[in-house]
Structure 1
Amino acid sequence: MAHGDITHIDIPVSDLGRAAGFYSDLFGWDIAEIPGFEGYPMWQAPNGISGGGLAPRDDRFTQPRSYVEVDSIDDAIEKATRAGGSVAAEKQNITDSSWWAVIVDPDGNYIGLFEGVVNPS
């Protein structure tokens, strides 16, 4: 994927098993826990490209969140804050070669940022 591509969509759920059954039956999504990401079942759409995760719902995570791939999370956060945005979740590791963060745009929309490679080849 390239800078600016939507790479992942998290859906907040209160019951991971119930949600996995619902989305799998409704959309034909392949949903499974991947080693190293237990408790965070990931979904893959039939097109083999679209995907995301089912994440525990909490007071700060109540709506689906898209993650946009960026060349540099640090640069994207700096640019977003200069343009009137803010940071909801600082840059955090996913793997040794990938990171995520969440910004808030001036209208209050939460947008996830993704940088790196999850499965380097």
Structure 2
Amino acid sequence: MAHGDITHIDIPVGDTDRARTFYSGLFGWDIAEAPGFEGYPMWRAPNQISGGGLAPREEGFTSPRSYVEVDSIEESLAQVEALGGKVLMGRSQISPTSWWAVFEDLDGNRLGLYEGVTTMD
């Protein structure tokens, strides 16, 4: 994926097993937990391109959140602030080769940033 592409969508859920049954039945998504990501099942659409996770619902995370791939999280977060947005969570490591962050735009929408390469196979 390239800078600016939507790379991942997290869906907040209260009951992972119930959500797994619902989404796999509704859309045919392949949903499984990867080693090292227990409690966070990842979904992949039949096109084998679209995907995301079923993440625990918590305060501040009650609506689906899209993640946009960027070349540099630090540079993107600086742009967020320069353009009037708000950094909610700075760069945080996912794996040795990937990171994420969360920001809020001018209308209060919360989006994630993704940088790097994550292999789940």
Interval of TM-score (by shorter of Structure 1 and Structure 2): over 0.9
2:96 paired with 1:117: no
5+ residue gaps, structure 1, are none
Mapped to 2, the partners of 1:19 and 1:90 lie a distance apart of 28
CA distance in 2, matches of 1:11, 1:62: 8
- Taking the TM superposition and a 5 Å limit, the aligned residue runs for 1:1-121 are 1-119=1-119
RMSD of the TM alignment (CA)?
A: 1.0
d(CA) in 1 for partners of 2:69, 2:106: 20
Moved over 3 A (4+): none
Task: Report the alpha carbon displacement of residue 10 of structure 1 after superposing the two structures with TM.
Answer: 0.0
Cα distance, 1:119 vs. partner? 2.3
Q: Percent identity?
A: 65
Q: 2: distance between equivalents of 1:47 and 1:36? A: 25
Q: Which amino acid aligns with 1:43?
A: W
Superposition deviation, residue 90 in structure 1: 1.4
Per-residue deviation, residues 17-74 of structure 1 (Å, max 9, x unmatched): 0000000000000000001100000000000000000000011100000000000000
TM-score by length of 1: 0.97
Q: Distance in 2 between matches of 1:41 and 1:97?
A: 20
